[in-house]
Structure 1
Amino acid sequence: MNATFKRRAAQAGAALLAVGLAAGISGCRDSRAAAVDSAAEPEINIIVGGLEKVIYMPAKLSESLGYFEKEGVKVNLLGEQSGATAENALLTGSAQAVVGFYDHTIDLAAKNQCLTSVVQLANIPGEAEVVAASKADTIKSPADFEGKNLGITSLGSSTDFLTQALAGQAGVKNYTPAKVGAGQTFIAAIDNNGIDAGMTTDPTIAQLTESGKGKVLTEMRTEEGTRKALGGLYPAASVYMACDFVQKNPKTVQKLANAFVQTLRYINDHSAAEIAAKMPKEYANGGQALYEKSIKDTKTMFNRDGVIDPEGAKNVLRILDSYSSNVKGKGGSIDLSKTYTTEFVSKVPAQ
């Protein structure tokens, strides 16, 4: 039994446990869901798969700009380093929304759980596979992943799904996925030779490339790079929620959609320096100039209107059905129309 198989088995067990927990407290979650829309000031817990990551910047920026408050909804932003952990919080009812990758809605649909993206923040991943500078001469493409240690945030995360896709498309079957998180823990793994390459985001990408410690191997922060790497668009950063919560609390969901779309418009209309000035100072731990660069390198990924690309959604399903151990073989039974909705973003008032 190789290392990859062992890790996948552990991942599957964790997923089953999460689903079991969700089923066990469904009555409690339903009761909580029914009460939110009727509150004078709805309160929502949003799990963010890495508050400091530029790809999830709209969450903290919405708060900083006062858009949640303007909409009359109290939002508690709770940071997690992995989308897999975030989706478990949603399933168990400790959070009502997640800012994370759209592909989790498909991954959970394969386990008969209904999650739906209500605001699509981006139609590309905003990620890159970064190779350690010391390994750049031997790892020149995903075809060279065979036998290598590849960094991901955690098993079952979107970085895991994307790594499986890149390896699978290149015909690579044996590599070791290494849970190294993001930010400083990812950089430390590069420094200590714990990983040969890994999937990560800005500002980590900017810190590695500017310091000379890493080089971008596969670029997915642009539409061109994403199409080249994945054969089409790949809707990624989104605001997703449990379907039953959305159905029972349309007023609250609309408030969230209004706030996030206003933030997307702000991102599209302002410079990286102006955006950085609105973010917490501690997010610029590599220096303000480097943080502004990381925003500039990534900000073009964000949608303006929060609408998902339908063909991109089909591409996500195709990729997961082909290469994800969770979804493979189940794609034909997944109703893609339940994994996202444009109902709320279409009603956001004009600027």
Structure 2
Amino acid sequence: MSRLPKPFTFCVAIALASVVNMSPVQADDTQTISIMVGGISKFIYLPVKLADQLGYFKDEKLHFELLSQPSGVDAENELLAGAVQAVAGAYDHTIDLQSKGKEVQSIATFLQVPGEVEVVAKGSLMKSMADATGKTFGVTGLGSSTDFLTRYIALKSGVTSRQYSTLPVGADNSFIAAVAQHRIDAGMTTEPTVSRLLETGDASVLVDMRTVEGTKKALGGIYPFTGLYVDARWLARHKTQAAGLARAIARTMAYIHTHSAEDIADKMPKDYYGGNKALYVQALKATMSMYTPDGRMPAGGPENVLNVLSTINPAIKGKQIDLSRTYTNEFIVATKAP
């Protein structure tokens, strides 16, 4: 049987919606929301998977699926292509994209600090980022947030991006392999990968942004990092779904701050432990402070992110960036974990 032309089916949808006293926008709210995560097993994205495990998305009557890409920049590209409706990714992408004329908006914030660590491979002579000249640095992807942050902390130490190389090596096992195979001298990654490398002795910490103190030292202030962002056009048409997503995340943040690392680990898929649950729990205990208490964007955070990006990105420096259009706390409501 041949398919009806799209204009005809669209008109039929409008007619049916009016019969049941629903607008086409409301009808769209029954569609599946595809959420792309820039590395779903990373601690920096833990809230979105934990919300799924706790059933909070289902409580909001959301039809959803979680997908994973090794790099946040890949997830961003999926959103811009219209392949997914939301991204669990780094907030700084919203600023970078606005400078390119594209509007995306964060509707919930997971981290008040990056949770990223610059590690140095065993045998490297690097003592600080001032020794970056001639070295190869691992990042999740070119144009990713790890790429942005690597460039900033190197430049802060007097080394420009022309003086070293960057290599996209992904995260988790692929990052560990790049270290073990000596393809990179240093690289930026997150938990639980950091703890796995430290335990084996294959790497050591050079710059630590898992805490507020370490982040302020490296980046000059707090740096809201990961969260849930959506295309502004989608948001305008699907506020009911957006509110449901934000409420689920807010409940998850409350759960994180009222439960132990052991409780949280017990809710996560076993294959996330990397074969060592005790190490997973230990790493989680050390990083609990990086999560926002309620999913709101921290005051002053967007301004510091813009300052960092403006320092390293000529496309942003001098541009008129409207930070109020890069995030919203509109859908975050005070909530308590059960």
Q: Same fold (TM over 0.5)?
A: yes
Secondary structure of 1:93's aligned partner: coil
CA gap 1:349/1:189 in 2 versus in 1, 3 angstroms: closer
Matched, 1:104 2:71: no
Question: How far 1:39 sits from its partner (Å)?
Answer: 4.5
Structure 1 residue 342 and structure 2 residue 329: aligned? Answer: yes
Secondary structure, counterpart of 1:134 in structure 2: coil
Identical positions, percent: 46
Structure (1 or 2) with the larger CA radius of gyration = 2
* Distance apart, 1:241 and its partner CA: 0.6
Q: Is the 8 A contact 1:48 1:79 kept in 2?
A: yes
Question: How far has the Cα of 1:36 moved from its partner?
Answer: 5.9
- Asked whether the equivalents of residues 42 and 252 of structure 1 are also in contact (C-alpha less than 8 Å), the reply is no
Among candidates 225, 236, 239, match of residue 236 of structure 1: 225
Match of 2:19 in 1: none
Partner of 2:58: 69
| Unaligned stretches of 5+ residues in structure 1 | 1-27
What is the root-mean-square deviation of aligned Cα atoms in Å?
Answer: 1.7
Question: Moved runs in structure 1, 4+ residues, more than 6 A?
Answer: none
**How far is 1:294 from its partner?**
1.9
Give how far 1:325 is off.
5.0
Task: Kindly provide the amino acid, as one letter, of the partner of residue 305 in structure 1.
Answer: D
Match of 2:82 among 74, 81, 93: 93
Distance (whole Å) between structure 2 residues aligned to residue 37 and residue 54 of structure 1: 34
CA distance in 1, matches of 2:175, 2:153: 19
Q: Whole-Å Cα distance in 2 between the matches of residues 348 and 246 of structure 1?
A: 21
Corresponding residue for residue 132 of structure 2: 145
Query: Which string of whole-angstrom CA distances, capped at 9 and with x for unpartnered residues, describes residues 6-27 of structure 1?
Result: xxxxxxxxxxxxxxxxxxxxxx
Contact between 2:251 and 2:336, CA under 8 Å: does it hold in 1? Answer: no
Q: Which residue of 2 aligns with 1:219?
A: 208
Number of equivalenced pairs: 315
SS of residue paired to 2:40: coil
Structure 2: which 5+ residue stretches go unaligned? 1-9, 14-22
1:122 partnered with 2:129 = no
For 1:283 and 1:100, locate their aligned partners in 2 and report how far apart those are by CA, in whole Å.
19
TM-score by length of 1: 0.86
Secondary structure at 1:269's aligned position in 2?
A: coil
1:268 aligns with 2:252: no
Partners of 2:115 and 2:190 within 8 A in 1: yes
- For residues 253 and 76 of structure 1, what CA distance do their matches in structure 2 show? 15
Relative distance call for 1:40 and 1:175 in structure 2 (3 A) is closer
Q: TM-score, normalised by structure 2?
A: 0.89
1:239-250 → structure 2 map (5 Å cutoff): 239-250=228-239
Match of 1:195, SS state, is: coil
Distance 1:115 1:237, change over 3 A: same
| SS of corresponding position for 1:151 | strand
SS in 2 for 1:305: coil
**Residue of structure 1 aligned with 2:172, choices 171, 183, 190:** 183
Residue 20 of structure 2: aligned partner: none
TM-aligned CA distance change 1:64 to 1:234, over 3 Å: same
